[in-house]
Structure 1
């Protein structure tokens, strides 16, 4: 009887969903019975009149197509009034008055910008990440939107790729947890609410493995690698109920993702059970022509057959599917299925009940860029920063210190938000100099730009694509700017050098073969180092960088990524100790580009180099160490943490038993701080080669000075599973090593044996 009562709520919920689905199906079926072929194909057409343009094509004749019912959705326009104008055309002038949905790239906030996603991931705080997405959804829906092209969950192991900034780093377990948190934040429990929206997980699939780190490039990998390391975050988003999926630009097994039936139908829909809509990336249908798969009609038919529902901007569906249907190259059912999925998404969003439900003109003033959202942005940004070095506890600084504040990013509003800040207003951002003045009004600040972000004319031209310029060229010579900075340093207690990349030196179409600091800034740092004054480097970046000279010559290094609207205040909070940094790297920092790809969970090799003295005929380099500059999971604090030995509840287990792994964590320093305790599992013997270790759990723990806490991890056979040569998700009997520690390289370990 107790079991019956326990399952009654579940049965009731299932019944409600079934009733809801039946009602939706009846509505959509009735509507489609009235639609012409052209109107059905029109629903498959996603266009932009301008705005968030990420390609060379901008849609034409949008108004006319809206009146004909030949557009399913728009992106690139925001604001309730503008969105309402477009919706008016669709619901008042088209024959069947089918409403549009409106989307945008809401990547790390909408108007209130949070740290770039790579920075957010370094917080290792799922509640915080979910909160950032919840605020973004509230703002975006207040601005007339109901669809966000986010989260981007591509695993990226090559920091040369610009879009590494848009994801959560190199690890599939952490990436999966973040994917779920973002989907929950955007969609809530029911994305028909007026302050939630439909999320779109992207880019499906494997886009982060583009060869040579060059955007839009080819991808080629084994199925085991695909399933084990690259697919999990997408599946996590699907399991979390994401409403839509965006196909990627790259090919998979020599077939572009946008036209890949195995990917979009066999894997996504049949294996994973995804029931939402699939949209192409910007003109990726058309770009299959350049992949040498045929003309526009051929590739459009290929995409529809593969399982693509909506064509972004390219209009290949709109202009060719009717002809392809007549010629038998596509079926009516394929068109109907795609149309149905789009109409179902609109139904779930509540647009058929009220096409204007996201267009309340009273909301923006109350819900967008408010003191509350800015406060949240400041708190979240501070928690994303990673302290990479802090010799002699130079940080935190005293609030009455005499500071030489130098560097091209110290007073640059244009670069605070980072890439993919489509709706953001950089003029509302807080710079580093403003933040320091806000947090430490008693500090004596002498500011000098010191250098341009770059003096390389080609890099400047290619970065300054979107006005106003991110790399501003000073009228003075480099020598004059450096001299001014050196003079400022001589009269200061400490130098704070704010350097790094411009915002769009990362992001889409922003791959770099050299991922070090631009030469202009490196020369500035070298000149300042000669003064002998202690120096803090505040680093703005959208990727892991090569920082060999900097790591040796700076006293402190604080990686702040691109912190968003409140970047300057958050940076000052950390510099002056209002917040003790707790971020941990989610992307390995190489010593040079020749080490790439360098990841913590690399495979075993038959001739391993285990940090012993260099020897011939080992898997190593002649000219550099195998070790990274900064490993995955690395990050310092203003306090110190001590780990006890790993204690295991059992060392011999069988079947479905549960293992508890314990470690005592102590704050052995003088200030309160948070530590991300990381748990890794290594499979000693398996039927296929395994990683040296894989992240399988983590906890963020706050401790007061002198406080200790026993941190425990429950381990089941689920954490032992991997994809074998038959692509079966399973585990095998044998020995396993449980690692717990402060980063992937510094761990305490215990060994167990687990039999089936």
Structure 2
């Protein structure tokens, strides 16, 4: 069942990204170079290692054969290293590149890093950025990050994460765009275009790496590095489309997943990395292993030893081995014995060298290694401005009973909680070269707007309660620590930490109106006083501009326009869960979700506390006069939107569909289009949305991608109380 949905499904992404495609075909120069290379030099080009010449911070991954800067420089000069990763700074990079140019063939190094949400200037985590539901904002954010990152001596980022994540226990939910396939597709393409720009050889371009190929977000029990078992249709409908969008946008590389898929680890999975990735999806760039993943084939139990692991990875389609050193140690003997064809090695080397050529490194090995540019661009005001814009637009107002927000600057405000003055947890996971000291905490940001602010860290609940009683409103700053999300940080209970919950209960007992400022890297199962607070803001990990962004939303300087990219469950035990779950034969009725004999848990309905797309503003909108018609290759939708409140605001108008009858069971709802529309109080506007017919395609019962004729439900909403429904028919 090849991954070939109708070409129209991605035509908008293709048109938007045509200029971003890198020229990855190897030139005659590359072919001539390969002809001169020894097998040892080829293995060196296919090997990448943690940068010990210019290390940054504490390494997350387990230490694998550290050797120090001097030994690493000697290996580089001997032609045994193709790429260094997770180092930072121009001075160290120049030392390493000088060593590479002393090697026999003078092949330049490429420098890479896990730049997930900023380099020195830390942006909101990708999940928070996704809450803005704005592909152009994501593109601009990635472009700003690329400018700063490349100025610090890097050519390649191991981002974006495009894993669709439906289980909030998984820590790496923080690194992606959430649970929806359509949003993941849009943001995958946007982030690739932002990182790479219009010309991959420019000094401010970063090669992008959509990862982790493929299905990593479906790990068993939400547990990091666990097994993945997916139907082929689920893999193709849910997990491959964001990669397809990223590749259509010109992504130069991809990364194989750590995990197995159906019992075969991705790093040894020829069907996945060669048949699907290259054969069906047409990807021609570099495929790099994840950290030490080829060596881990031994622990998986599919390789007899390290040499066998290197053989399996090379034959599967892994071009570059990360950190293990297995290719460098074993490929020469594997080729000599005939266990690995030299043609397979040459194909991988050709792709790696073609990437270096596309990056312009053969013409200018000092590309992105200019100390003056590094000084000028790092923490530039224009980059910080984009980080603040993203942080502000990422905030989601989940609850606002009685219109408690926005606050006035004259209110007596108590800011209480462990994150009130905290900077250590502003950035969240994978903040790479960022310095927490550069961040602006909540107390500083809010204090710049509030005239009467008392701050308490909440370490003594009795004292915190006294502070709360003296205030007119409490801002409670609680949630996850920065080390509770990201890689290796899966949780069995996705609740607020017990000490923070106890603080919330103590403060709520005072009766002072409370606004919860959640800090988190996933959707949380809210309980008790946190769930029942008068107002709740999802503020994620917003990076260095946290304080000003939160303050602007609290005081109405900025409208809360964020919407949830992941559903907040009623309880942890509902995981995995997503709004677009498939229909069941015994659905519970909307007006009786706990009806006996229907689909629900014994102690909870099949519903979320806050579903994907949830979020409030400071005004309200009304919809009327919905119509839809199939016109040519489009479903044309029209609806009248009115601002029914008293403030100017921005509506999030969203269109979902449901296929009533199909050859396979379909999701109860799927988002297929959305628009943001800003209106003044009392203003009305006719809003047009369009869904390409190809967006209705599914993997049918016979395994083929097609749009099946029939009736479709259409749902359009613009927030609470503003949902309309109609239907349309696709003819045969």
TM-score > 0.5, shorter chain as reference: yes
Select 1:34's aligned residue among 30, 33, 36. 36
In structure 2, do the counterparts of structure 1 residues 746 and 253 end up closer, same or farther at CA, with 3 Å as the change threshold? farther
1:286 paired with 2:292, answer: no
8 Å contact kept, 1:403–1:444: yes
Specify whether residues 746 and 664 from structure 1 end up closer, same or farther in structure 2 by C-alpha distance, changes over 3 A only. Answer: closer
Match of 2:4 in 1: none
SS at match of 2:543: coil
User: Which position in structure 1 is the counterpart of 2:494?
Assistant: 515
State how far apart, in whole Å, the 1-side matches of 2:75 and 2:176 are.
35
Residue in 1 that maps onto 2:97: 87
Report what 1:475 is aligned to. none
Is residue 447 of structure 1 aligned with residue 449 of structure 2? no
Return the match for 1:606 from 552, 576, 585. 585
On the 8 A contact 2:118/2:432 being kept in 1, the answer is no
**Residue 446 (structure 2) aligned to one of 418, 430, 436:** 436
Deviation at 1:390, TM superposition (A): 0.5
Correspondence 1:250-329 to 2 at 5 A? 250-294=259-303, 295-329=305-339
1:645 positional shift: 3.9
Q: How does 1:98-109 map to 2 (within 5 A)?
A: 98-109=107-118
Match of 2:465 in 1: 486
C-alpha displacement of 1:21: 7.1
Residue in 2 that maps onto 1:226: 235
The one of 559, 563, 566 equivalent to 2:538 is 559
Distance 2:404 2:555 in 1: 10
Aligned ranges for residues 110-509 of structure 1 at < 5 Å? 110-294=119-303, 295-440=305-450, 443-451=451-459, 481-509=460-488
Matches of 2:727 and 2:532 in 1, distance apart? Answer: 40
Does the 8 A contact of 2:456 with 2:464 survive in 1? yes
Distance 2:328 2:234 in 1: 37
Q: Distance in 2 between matches of 1:675 and 1:745?
A: 13
Written as runs of structure 1 = structure 2, the 5 A alignment for 1:735-754 is 735-742=711-718, 747-754=723-730
Partner SS state of residue 227, structure 1: helix
**Equivalent residue number for residue 710 of structure 1:** 686
Match of 1:55 in 2: 61
Distance 2:721 2:281 in 1: 34
Moved more, 721-730 or 129-138: 721-730
Q: Are residue 646 (structure 1) and residue 655 (structure 2) matched? A: no
Give 1:616's aligned residue: 596
Aligned to 1:456: none
Structure 2 CA distance for aligned equivalents of residues 327 and 364 of structure 1: 47
Q: Which residue of 2 aligns with 1:720?
A: 696
Deviation per CA, 1:387-419, whole angstroms, max 9, x where unpaired? 000011111111122111100011111111111
Instruction: Tell me if the contact between 1:633 and 1:744 (Cα under 8 Å) persists in the aligned partners.
Output: no
Kindly tell me: are residues 528 and 174 of structure 1, through their superposed partners in 2, closer, same or farther at Cα, counting changes over 3 Å? Answer: same
Return the alpha-carbon distance in structure 1 between the equivalents of residues 714 and 24 of structure 2: 45
Query: For each residue in 1:483-513, what CA deviation from the matched residue of structure 2 results, as whole angstroms up to 9, or x when unmatched?
Result: 2211111211111110000011000100111
Q: Which runs of 5+ in 2 are unaligned?
A: 1-13
Task: Give the secondary structure class of the aligned counterpart of 1:413.
Answer: coil
Aligned to 1:671: 647
1: distance between equivalents of 2:199 and 2:699? 33
CA shift, 1:142, in A, is 0.4
Q: Check if 1:536 corresponds to 2:515.
A: yes
Secondary structure at the aligned position of 1:538 is classed as strand
| 8 Å Cα contact 1:55-1:283 kept in structure 2 | no
Q: How far did residue 743 of structure 1 move?
A: 6.0
1:43 pairs with 42, 45, 49, which one?
45
String of CA shifts for 1:532-575, please: whole Å, max 9, x gaps: 11111100000000113245531100111011111111111111
- Counterpart secondary structure, 2:272: helix
Query: Structure 1 stretch 716-725 or stretch 279-288: which is displaced more?
Result: 716-725
Give the Cα separation in 2 of the matches to 1:552 and 1:66: 55
TM-score by length of 2: 0.94
Please give the alpha-carbon distance, in whole angstroms, between the structure 2 residues aligned to 1:647 and 1:366.
53
Structure 1 residue 318, shift from structure 2 partner = 0.8
| Alpha-carbon distance in 1 for matches of 2:615, 2:469 | 31
Moved more, 662-671 or 574-583: 662-671
2:567 to 584, 588, 604: 588
Runs of 4+ more than 4 Å apart:
743-746
Q: 1:25 aligns with which of 19, 24, 27?
A: 27
> Aligned partners of 2:635, 2:75: CA distance in 1, in Å?
61
Aligned equivalents of 2:306 and 2:423: distance in 1? Answer: 43
SS of aligned partner of 2:84: strand
Following superposition, the deviation at residue 424 of structure 1 comes to: 0.8
Contact 1:156 1:208 in 2 (8 A): yes
Quote the Cα distance in structure 2 between the aligned partners of 1:191 and 1:117: 23
Offset, 1:695: 1.1
Asked whether the 8 Å contact 1:631–1:743 carries over to 2, the reply is: no
Deviation at 1:57, TM superposition (A): 2.4
Alignment check: 8 A CA contact 1:246 1:280 kept = yes
Match of 2:707 in 1: 731
Q: CA RMSD in A?
A: 1.8
Aligned twin of 1:457:
none
Structure 1 regions of 5+ residues with no counterpart? 1-9, 452-480
1:469 matched residue in structure 2: none
* Counterpart residue number, 2:660: 684
Instruction: State the 1:515 CA deviation.
Output: 0.8
Farther off after superposition, 232-241 or 716-725: 716-725
CA change 1:421–1:42 in 2 (3 A) is same
Cα distance in 1 between the residues matched to 2:567 and 2:73: 48
Structure 1 window deviating more from structure 2 (494-503 vs 324-333): it is 324-333
Q: Write the distance in 1 (CA, Å) between the matches of 2:634 and 2:187.
A: 25
1:578 aligns with 2:557: yes
Q: Is the 8 A contact 1:386 1:559 kept in 2?
A: yes
More deviation in 365-374 or 298-307?
A: 365-374
Residue 9 of structure 2 corresponds to which residue in structure 1? none
Deviations 1:229-286 (A, max 9, x none): 1111011101111000001111112110111111111111111111110000000111
Determine helix, strand or coil for the equivalent of 1:120. helix
Secondary structure of 2:608's match?
coil
Per the TM alignment, residue 745 of structure 1 is displaced from its structure 2 partner at its CA by: 10
For 1:422 and 1:373, how far apart are their aligned partners in 2? 16
3-state SS of paired residue (2:318): coil
